[in-house]
A and B are shown apart, each in its own frame.
Chain A
Amino acid sequence: DVKVTQSSRYLVKRTGEKVFLECVQDMDHENMFWYRQDPGLGLRLIYFSYDVKMKEKGDIPEGYSVSREKKERFSLILESASTNQTSMYLCAIEGTVNSPLHFGNGTRLTVT
């Protein structure tokens, strides 16, 4: 069974803090993704990576960066957290043709 683990289920940070969201997978997949989800806006792609040390901007990369130093780990970084980054953050990996994305159970981040 595919396992995608996000390091924190709930996180509260202050404005201006540097925030790291970690995602670890156990399936040796190349493709990893970070989304945020907000009411009324659906899932929006922040960044993705097709291999170690590779990264691609998604639809809303502003205010975020990522790191992929090892294949199994994909980190999302908020360099200076702001209140408009309060959201649910979801990491996903690409599975098989018939099961294209497996999600972690999400990190609910609150920036105060």
Chain B
Amino acid sequence: RKEVEQDPGPFNVPEGATVAFNCTYSNSASQSFFWYRQDCRKEPKLLMSVYSSGNEDGRFTAQLNRASQYISLLIRDSKLSDSATYLCVVNMQGNTPLVFGKGTRLSVIA
């Protein structure tokens, strides 16, 4: 089983739509979780951290489900500028390098 799995997409959604991505992780002892955004031919940038209590930042909501070992990212009222690849990132254990999912590609269409 891969450590961090994401549906690669692409997710093609119209402007204004709500879209959700899930990411599953294999290690139940994983400690911290993040969503990164990567635009085409650019470096990944932190979108938001994922806390046990959930995290909301404007149109973006991230949630953690430890029992089922997945995190989610919900984007409401999608904008054209949301088109990007979204990377799920997990700290599996202590001071070890973060593990990246392969990313989910989102295209928001006018």
Asked whether B42 lies within 8 Å of A105 as measured between CB atoms, the reply is: yes
Are A97 and B32 also in contact (CB < 8 A) when A42-B103, A106-B43 are? yes
Proximity string of chain A (60-104) to chain B, C-beta cutoff 8 Å, 1 when within and 0 when not = 000000000000000000000000000010100000011111011
Interface residue B44 (Cβ < 8 Å from any Cβ of A): yes
B43 CB contact (under 8 Å) in A41, A98, A99, A105: A105
- The CA-CA distance from A39 to B34 in the complex, in Å, is 21
Asked whether A40 lies within 8 Å of B102 as measured between CB atoms, the reply is: yes
Asked whether A42 lies within 8 Å of B97 as measured between CB atoms, the reply is: no
Question: Residue among A41, A99, A101 with the most chain B CB within 10 A?
Answer: A101
Asked whether A100 lies within 8 Å of B43 as measured between CB atoms, the reply is: no
> Which residue of chain B has the shortest Cβ distance to A40 in the bound complex?
B102
- List which B30-59 residues lie within 8 A (CB) of chain A: 32, 34, 36, 41-46, 49
Q: Give the total number of A-B pairs whose CB atoms are below 8 A apart.
A: 43
Give chain B residues whose Cβ lies under 8 Å from the Cβ of A40: 8, 102
Give chain A residues whose Cβ lies under 8 Å from the Cβ of B44: 43, 90, 101, 103
- The CA-CA distance from A88 to B85 in the complex, in Å, is 16
Asked whether A99 lies within 8 Å of B97 as measured between CB atoms, the reply is: no
Interface residue B98 (Cβ < 8 Å from any Cβ of A): yes
B89 CB contact (under 8 Å) in A48, A88, A98, A100: A100
Give chain B residues whose Cβ lies under 8 Å from the Cβ of A50: 95
Interface residue A19 (Cβ < 8 Å from any Cβ of B): no
Question: Residue among A97, A103, A105 with the most chain B CB within 10 A?
Answer: A103
Asked whether A45 lies within 8 Å of B43 as measured between CB atoms, the reply is: no
Asked whether A100 lies within 8 Å of B42 as measured between CB atoms, the reply is: no
- List which A1-54 residues lie within 8 A (CB) of chain B: 33, 40-43, 45, 48, 50
List 7 contacting pairs A-B, 8 Å CB cutoff, sorted by A: A42-B103, A43-B100, A88-B41, A98-B49, A100-B34, A100-B46, A103-B44
**6 closest cross-chain pairs (CB), A and B:** A42-B102, A103-B43, A43-B100, A98-B49, A106-B43, A105-B43
